[in-house]
Amino acid sequence: MENRQVNIGIIGLGTVGTGVARILLEQKDLLETRSGLNFNLKTIAELDWSKERDLDLSCVNCTTNAHELLDDPEINIVVETIGGYEPAFSFISKALKNRKHVVTANKALIATKGMELYKIAQENDVDLLFEASVGGGIPIIKGLREGLVANRFESIYGILNGTTNYILTKMHQEDLDFDDALKMAQEKGFAEADPTLDISGGDAAHKLAILSTIASNSFIPFDKIYVEGITGITKMDMNFAQSFGMTIKLLAIYKRYNDGVDLRVHPTLIDNSHLLAAVGNELNAVFVKGDFVGNTMFYGPGAGERPTASAIVSDIVDLSRDLLLKEGEKYCNRAISLTQDVRLIPVEDIENRFYLRFTTKDEPGVLSMISGVLAEHNISIASMVQLESHGKDNFVPIVLLTHKALEKSMNEALEKIVRYDFVKKDYLRLRIFE
Q: Which is nearer to ligand HSE, 301 or 397 (CB)?
A: 301
Taking the least distance from each CB to ligand HSE, the nearer of 197 and 373 is 197
Residue type, 240: F
Beta bridge partners of 38: 5
Segment near ligand HSE (CB under 6 A); pick from 88-96, 159-167, 263-271, 394-402 = 159-167
Query: Which residue among 181, 208, 211, 303 contacts ligand HSE (CB under 6 A)?
Result: 303
**Window of 55-63, 161-169, 268-276, 324-332 that interacts with ligand HSE by CB under 6 A:** 161-169
**Using rule CB under 6 A, residue 161 touches ligand HSE:** yes
Q: State in angstroms the smallest separation of the CB of 163 from ligand HSE.
A: 3
Residue 380 C-alpha from the chain's centroid: 33
Query: Which candidate, 246, 226, 238, 227, places its Cα nearest to that of 178?
Result: 238
Interacting residues of 320 by C-beta distance below 8 A, sequence separation 6+: 6, 35, 37, 39, 76, 77
Size of the site for ligand HSE (CB under 6 A): 8
Residue 303 CB, nearest distance to ligand HSE (Å)?
A: 4
* Binding flag, residue 212, ligand HSE (CB under 6 A): no
In the chain the first and final C-alpha atoms are separated, in Å, by 52
Which residues, in sequence order, are bridge partners of residue 364? none
Position 198 contacts ligand HSE (CB under 6 A): yes
Rounded CA-CA distance 72/59 in Å is 17
Candidate list 207, 249, 255, 289, residue with the active-site label = 207
Shortest distance in whole angstroms from residue 136 CB to ligand HSE = 6
If the CB atoms of residues 260 and 280 are measured against ligand HSE, the closer one turns out to be 280
Which of 80, 203, 228, 237 is close enough to bind ligand HSE by CB under 6 A?
Answer: 203
Among 17, 19, 302, 307, binds ligand HSE (CB under 6 A): 302
For residue 39, the tally of other CB atoms under 10 A from its CB is 24
50: left (phi over 0), alpha (psi -120 to 50) or beta: alpha
Closest CA to 137 of 312, 375, 370: 312
| Least distance to ligand HSE, CB of residue 161, Å | 4
**Binding residue (CB under 6 A) for ligand HSE from 7, 40, 76, 163:** 163
310 near ligand HSE (CB under 6 A)? no
User: Binding marks (x or -) toward ligand HSE, 262..301, rule CB under 6 A?
Assistant: ----------------------------------------
Residue 207 annotated to the active site:
yes
User: Cα separation of 348 and 410, whole Å?
Assistant: 9
Pairing of strands 77-80, 101-104: parallel
Nearest to ligand HSE of 266, 429 (CB atom)? 266
Q: Are 317 and 162 in contact (CB under 8 A)?
A: no
Nearer to ligand HSE, 69 or 103 (CB): 103
315 touching ligand HSE, by CB under 6 A: no
Q: Which is nearer to ligand HSE, 9 or 195 (CB)?
A: 195
Tell me how far, at minimum, the Cβ of 25 lies from ligand HSE, in Å: 24
Q: Are 348 and 407 in contact (CB under 8 A)?
A: yes
Does 131 help bind ligand HSE (rule: CB under 6 A)?
no
Closest by alpha carbon to 409, among 358, 355, 348? Answer: 348
What is the C-alpha separation between 413 and 167, in angstroms, rounded? Answer: 31
In this structure, the strands spanning 405-406 and 351-361 are: antiparallel
We find the least distance from the C-beta atom of residue 274 to ligand HSE, in angstroms, to be 21
Residue 71: helix, strand or coil by DSSP? coil
- Which span (61-69, 160-168, 222-230, 369-377) binds ligand HSE, by CB under 6 A? 160-168
Query: Quick check: 162 binds ligand HSE (CB under 6 A)?
Result: yes
Report the residue number, 159 or 241, with the smaller CB distance to ligand HSE.
159
The order of strands in the sheet holding 128-129 is 61-63, 38-45, 5-11, 77-80, 101-104, 128-129
CB nearer to ligand HSE: pick between 191 and 288: 191
Please name the residues in contact with 206: beta carbons below 8 A apart, sequence gap of 6 or more: 107, 108, 110, 111, 112, 133, 222
How far apart are the C-alpha atoms of 170 and 161, rounded to whole Å?
A: 15
**Does residue number 106 form part of the binding site for ligand HSE (CB under 6 A)?**
no
Length of the chain: 434
- Which are the catalytic amino acids? 207
Residues at the contact surface with ligand HSE, assessed by CB under 6 A: 136, 161-163, 198, 203, 302-303
